[in-house]
Amino acid sequence: MDYNDMELMICLASRYLEDDSIVVVGTGAPCAAAMLAQKLYSPRLMIMFEAGGIGPLLPSMPISVGDSRTFYRALAASSMPEIMETCQRGLVDYTFLGGAQIDQYGNINSTMIGKDYKAPTVRFPGSGGANDLGSLCWKTMMITPQDQRRFTEKIDFVTTPGYLTGPGAREEAGLPPGSGPYKVITNLCVIGFDEQTKRMMVESMHPGITREKVIENTGFELLWAENVTASDPPKADELNVLRNEVDPYRYIIGRG
């Protein structure tokens, strides 16, 4: 079956969102994954947007978190403080985040590249709500291409905490026990986090991908699950819904 990397990543991500769970998403691939999950696997999935949309039934792909479609047939049109308060109260199961760099403990940089904060080589938009979401939601996921520039030994700025320096570090920083990075879904593999060391651990590799290719596109040493499986490729019904209902204008899947 013909599919591109973006379609593969979205389909894989959608399968992790259980029915009756709550997810805060932004626009782009995370929103597409949540929409696909809601249409195929988890009809009672509660989708929330940072700008205040709670529980919409998305008619089509929104272009921003404040797009009117994020309030379509929603349970509430609230505000950013209410969304963040809901996360702080421990009610949100999942969030999706992105960034320019990520390290082996799932710490994310979306602020700057360089050694000097005041004079960076590259300045990015920064946290927005990413620090709050990554700190307070129970499970953080990321959809991203994998290469050594993104997957780096040491990130230049910690915008969003993962497991910080390892076991116990989140709790010492005052973050909810049991929260933290959950899955990183890339164009090469699906990565989880080792329960003991809190380091990235490869759980499955996509069709046609070798261990050597994963290693050469990672800037640090990965752990490997005892039984690394083959990622289940997109199914016909997933691609049909994704292409014809979720993203018919190919705003997102056209990037793959």
Q: Would you name the residues annotated as active-site residues? A: 50
3-state secondary structure the chain: CCCCHHHHHHHHHHCCCCCCCEEEECCCHHHHHHHHHHHHCCCCCEEEECCCEECCCCCCCCCCCCCHHHHCCCCEECCHHHHHHHHHCCCCCEEEECCCEECCCCCEECCEECCCCCCCCEECCCCCCHHHHHHHCCEEEEECCCCCCCEECCCCCCCECCCCCCCCHHHHCCCCCCCEEEEEECCCEEEEECCCCCCEEEEEECCCCCHHHHHHCCECCCEEEEEEEECCCCCHHHHHHHHHHHCCCCCCHHHC
